[in-house]
Amino acid sequence: EAQVTQNPRYLITVTGKKLTVTCSQNMNHEYMSWYRQDPGLGLRQIYYSMNVEVTDKGDVPEGYKVSRKEKRNFPLILESPSPNQTSLYFCASSLSGTVSTDTQYFGPGTRLTVL
């Protein structure tokens, strides 16, 4: 089954404790991205990757890191999480970087709470 998986689905952590949210897709997609969803703000892009070893900032990259060492994986790293990073996070992938025409496949979301 074609899918994007994220782990964990739920995470409660404390300020400053490094964490990684994993994202994996099994569709051989070149393009992957991370969004965060906050009430009243919709979804905002954090980082995206056009291919292996190619990443770029989205609209709200501060406090986040990503890497793309393998085509299928695109982990989101919070080196020192803060309470303002409490949010719902989505990973998405598509065949190419043209989101206008390529179907975006979204993961199930990760609910992160930073205390």
- DSSP secondary structure letters along 26-83: SS--SEEEEEEEETTTEEEEEEEEEETTEEEE-S--TT-EE--SSTTB--EEESS--G
Q: Enumerate residues 12-71 that contact another protein by CB under 8 A.
A: 31, 33, 35, 40-45, 48, 50, 56, 58-59
- Contact segment (CB under 8 A) with another protein among 14-22, 67-75, 76-84, 91-99 equals 91-99
Distances (CA, A) of 77 to 72, 98, 103: 16, 25, 25
- Contact segment (CB under 8 A) with another protein among 16-24, 68-76, 77-85, 93-101 equals 93-101
Q: Is residue 75 involved in binding another protein (CB under 8 A)?
A: no
Q: Is residue 108 involved in binding another protein (CB under 8 A)?
A: yes
Are β-strands 110-114 and 105-106 bridged in parallel, bridged antiparallel, or unpaired? unpaired
Q: Please report, as ranges, the residues that interact with another protein according to CB under 8 A.
A: 31, 33, 35, 40-45, 48, 50, 56, 58-59, 88, 90, 92, 97-101, 103-104, 106, 108-109
